[in-house]
Chains A and B, each alone.
Chain A
Amino acid sequence: MSDSMTWLEFLSQAKGFLAISSKLNDSWQLIEKDKHEPNTFLKYAQKVKYKDELINVEYHIVYSISYQVPMLYLQAHRSDGGLLDIEATWNLFMPEMPRSDLYQMLTQMEHPVLFRPFMTLHPCRTCEILSQFGKQSTNLILTFISIYGPYVKLELSNSYGLINEENEKYEMKM
């Protein structure tokens, strides 16, 4: 069983995910940059408190053509607009993890849609991890965010899973 996905699968699942988010009054957005595919990504932003300072973290779920999986890109900035570098970003999320592990996982790469350097969780094992994840989910993006998100303080409420299950049941009846 392969859990890689095509661009069109990504697109339709991103839209499916967005529908759940809207239903739950959550603030995910689907951003379409231009007409050059892959041009679309899911975006979410939140404030995270770090040592009495508020940090804005923007998360993008982007399609990786090379790995054929979703990728989680993120960028964090302070209240004056200054970006957090990779070390500071790491401290924000996982201060207790050893450095060597950090660079196996969190790295800086060019955003495939925006062409700007972003932090990203390395995609090299995403496919493997997604396929190990119990029963096959109908929305791999939901699965992907649920697995990777918690590493970077991106926690989806349980309702996402429940709504998705309802959808699945509904689809099965059809």
Chain B
Amino acid sequence: LDCHLFSHCLFIFCTVWACLCITAQQISKAMSDIKILQFAPFESFVSPTFWHKLAELKLDYDRLSDTKRSIYGYYTNRKASGCLLEVDYSAYNSEAQTPKFSHAANGSIYNKNTIEEFKALDKTSLLADEGKQLLDDMRNGRALNDASLLTRFFVLSFADLKCHSYYYWFAFPCPLTPALELLTSPTKLKEMPNSGTYVEAICVLPAHAQNFFILHVNEQAKVCEALSLSDALGKFDEQQAQHYIYCFADPSEYENPAWLMRNYVALLFQKCPTLIGKSLKFLGLRYDQQMQLDNSLMWQVRQSEACNYEQVQFVGWEANRNGKMGPRMANMRDSMDPAKLAENSINLNLKLMKWRLVPDLNLDILANTKCLLFGAGTLGCAVARNLLSWGFKHITLMDSGKVGYSNPVRQSLYTHSDAVAGNCMKATTAAARLLEINPSAVTKGYVLEIPMPGHTVGEALRAQTEQHLQRIEEEVLAHDVIFLLTDSRESRWLPTLLGAANQKIVMNAALGFDSYLVMRHGSTRQLIGDCNRNVEGLKCISGQQLGCYFCNDVTAPGNSLKDRTLDQQCTVTRPGVSNIAASYAVELLVALLQHPQRELAPAYYANTRQQTEVQQPEGLLGILPHSIRGMLCNYENILPATQKFAQCIACSERVLAAYRSEGHEFLFKTFETAKYLEDLTGISEFKRLNSEIIDFDDNEFDMSDNEDDDDN
């Protein structure tokens, strides 16, 4: 917290503290060998559950009310560390509930509604008010009957429930009474001759009554008994008081007694003014782990001046961690913000993978890589979820569709009620769902049509298409990876082109009825140096030389939705196919991102079928194939790698050059007619010459057309 916040009050505290010091100094100057008893100030110690409960009370009960609340704290004098006053969730109970070996402290909390009120509150008068109540309790006898009222504290706080930040300042009010002269150096109980009888008398008292009591020790009369404050001070006997030892549970681990002794002293002199000027014995009880009192300390003191309680000042605000008079701030996000809890747990799962299995895994790369998904259908949903699992945080989806009744069972980010609502757009609904799954993700959804070659844009739609085009271009630029997950071949053309033009990583997944294709497009990024490792028996294609989705085809994408029966158009895939393909796509991307050359990593394939035994070079997470083609009917994958096609209608230099120079104008020409692309690249020529190559891949895997037509 800004330490200047409270500088205006600081001044006042300094003057008060200065007074204290001057008094002490004056006395010590006057009588050079006089020692002044000093006290160990309380240190607040807050359990996270104290904040949990405060947040709950503020939200469910107090709401806008900021009246003060009574609370309880506790301190222990067994094996004490520091000089602590602790609070936990039980502080707000109607009765004090102290842990074993602890004593109750009485307090209140002033929880303000705004940080401004917290800052502006007059700290001096608040302390004075609390101090006066304390004096009242001493005067009217309440503190005699319930000695825990002497251990006083209050908390000024402001709970920023949105940020899970708690601003707080503890005070342990105490009247600024004249100094106590220390007559002898403190003595340990075990060094005192009659310690055994003392301990016997003390042990008679029940634990809760040991906070403040008086030991009446008269050796001549052979008396050693423990008296409660009300018994001993209620009807004060000056004669008998000569034999009193004023005992208290001392939570201090230091040579100095705990702060609470100041209030004890104040009570005594107020109740029994005749004690002023007399030598008094105070015994601070300190238990060790074995519950022995050996280390308890006795101080013999004298207060020479009386105190004017009407005009007394009060001290007790706690210094903060820098030793300055000011509040503290607890950031509880890690334990209270559900989003942060989720984030930490997700990261932990991933980190365990790194710590235990793959020490060189770079998780930051994944968290910082921005993914743009074209298509928010079966593949889009599955890819997005797999990305979340890997700790990707930036996911943007584009889709023009609404959630329909048939979608939720396969498209894992939608529910039936989305379909019933009738107006839930897939892109935005998916983006919102991703946030519900991981609130710390950064997701966006855009409802838009991807313009396609051969799908003529009418004049009426020109402006809208223009707009969508611009949005798509901007988003491609703003992301690192582009996923092609749409349900038609031609809708993949524009993203393929934009990915190639902007040197993005492009991942492609397409489905057939029981087959799938997952591939990484060849990169257009410049390869620096030749890092390809040639392996005997394997053909190596550098990342820059790998083909794209369209490189293997020699037709421009036309209207593939035309002249198809319903079962050919969409939705007819075995359900597992999309999950398999989506998983491969994300795993391949992760493997690629972990490779030192990233998308420029070469792909290898066997020259002949006999040599498939040759070990392929591996990245951190195994080999990096160009494409994975698999079939569910025989549960087999093959990993073909293919070269870039110089006349490709999507990624060839001619197409990229036309896009760079003509921009949207070029694009609209292709939307008008796919033939334009064929002419531009010269494949119409090529097609006339020889069309056998077209079928090359399809001989092994008949999926060149089907793979596009799914329900993504």
Contact = CB atoms under 8 A, between A and B. Distances in A.
Interface string A25-47: 11101000000000000000001
A29 B100 contact: yes
A157 interface: yes
B45 A83 contact: no
B331 A82 contact: yes
B345 interface: yes
Contacts of A49: 81
B341 A117 contact: yes
B47 A81 contact: yes
Given A25-B290, A81-B332, A54 B45 contact: yes
- A81, A82, A99, A102 interface centre (most CB from chain B within 10 Å): A81
A73 to B, nearest CB: 15
Interface in B61-82: 78, 81-82
A168 interface: no
Nearest to A108: B348
Nearest to B81: A47
Nearest to B87: A81
Contacts of A2: none
Interface string A100-142: 1011100110000000010000000000000000000000000
B100 to A, nearest CB: 5
A77 B47 contact: yes
A24 B78 CA distance: 13
A66 interface: no
A26 B82 CA distance: 20
Contacts of B45: 54, 56, 79
Interface stretch (B351-359, B377-385, B443-451, B654-662): B351-359
A103 B48 contact: no
A85 interface: yes
A33 B537 CA distance: 65
B345 A81 contact: no
B153 interface: no
B648 interface: no
A82 B334 contact: yes
A24 B101 CA distance: 13
Interface in B32-52: 43-48, 50-51
B646 interface: no
A83 B100 contact: no
Given A49-B81, A54-B84, A81 B50 contact: yes
A107 B355 CA distance: 11
Q: How large is the interface on B (under 10, 10 to 19, 20 to 34, 35 or more residues)?
A: 35 or more
Given A77-B47, A157-B289, A27 B101 contact: yes
A171 interface: no
Query: Looking at chain A's contact residues, is the secondary structure mostly helix, strand, loop, or mixed?
Result: mixed
B352 A103 contact: yes
Given A81-B330, A83-B335, A56 B341 contact: no
Contact of A104 (B43, B48, B341, B356): B356
B99 interface: yes
Interface string B650-694: 000000000000000000000000000000000000000000000
A80 B345 CA distance: 23
Contacts of A83: 48, 334-335
Given A79-B43, A80-B46, A117 B331 contact: no
B13 interface: no
Nearest to B52: A81
B352 to A, nearest CB: 7
A117 to B, nearest CB: 6
Interface in B202-222: none
Given A56-B45, A81-B51, A83-B334, A103 B355 contact: yes
Given A82-B334, A100-B355, A25 B81 contact: no
B256 to A, nearest CB: 17
Contacts of A79: 43-46
B269 interface: no
A114 B85 CA distance: 26
B6 interface: no
Contacts of B166: 80-81
B206 to A, nearest CB: 15
A154 to B, nearest CB: 13
Nearest to A159: B290
Interface residues of A, number: 26
B282 to A, nearest CB: 25
Nearest to B168: A80
B344 interface: yes
B352 A27 contact: no
Nearest to B88: A81
Interface string B316-331: 0000000000001111
B291 interface: yes
Interface in B537-561: none
B359 A100 contact: yes
Residue among A27, A29, A82, A117 with the most chain B CB within 10 A? Answer: A82
Nearest to A48: B81
A77 B48 contact: yes
Among B48, B332, B341, B351, max chain A CB count under 10 A is at B48
A48 to B, nearest CB: 9
Contacts of B84: 47, 54
Interface string B87-116: 000000000000111000000000000000
A81 B46 contact: yes
Given A54-B45, A107-B352, A117-B344, A27 B99 contact: yes
A26 B100 CA distance: 9
A82 B332 CA distance: 6
A49 B81 CA distance: 9
Interface in A43-85: 47, 49, 54, 56, 77, 79-83, 85
Contacts of B78: 27
Contacts of B82: 47, 54
Nearest to B291: A25
Nearest to B290: A25
Given A54-B81, A100-B359, A117-B345, A80 B352 contact: no
Interface string B338-381: 00010011001001100110010000000000000000000000
Contacts of A85: 334, 344
A102 B359 CA distance: 13
Nearest to B328: A80
Contacts of A54: 43, 45, 81-82, 84
Contacts of B289: 26, 157
Contacts of A80: 46, 166, 168, 328-330
Interface string B282-299: 000000011100000000
Contact of B330 (A26, A82, A104, A108): A82
Contacts of B48: 77, 81-83
Contacts of B345: 108, 117
Interface of A: 24-27, 29, 47, 49, 54, 56, 77, 79-83, 85-86, 99-100, 102-104, 107-108, 117, 157
Interface of B: 43-48, 50-51, 78, 81-82, 84, 99-101, 166, 168, 289-291, 328-332, 334-335, 341, 344-345, 348, 351-352, 355-356, 359
7 contacts: A47-B81, A54-B81, A54-B84, A80-B46, A80-B329, A83-B335, A117-B345
Given A26-B289, A86-B348, A104-B355, 14 more contacts: A29-B100, A54-B43, A54-B45, A54-B81, A54-B82, A77-B47, A79-B46, A80-B329, A81-B47, A82-B330, A82-B331, A100-B359, A107-B352, A117-B341
- For the complex of A and B, list the 9 residue pairs with the smallest distance between their C-beta atoms, beginning with the closest: A103-B355, A80-B330, A47-B81, A25-B291, A81-B46, A81-B48, A79-B45, A83-B335, A81-B330
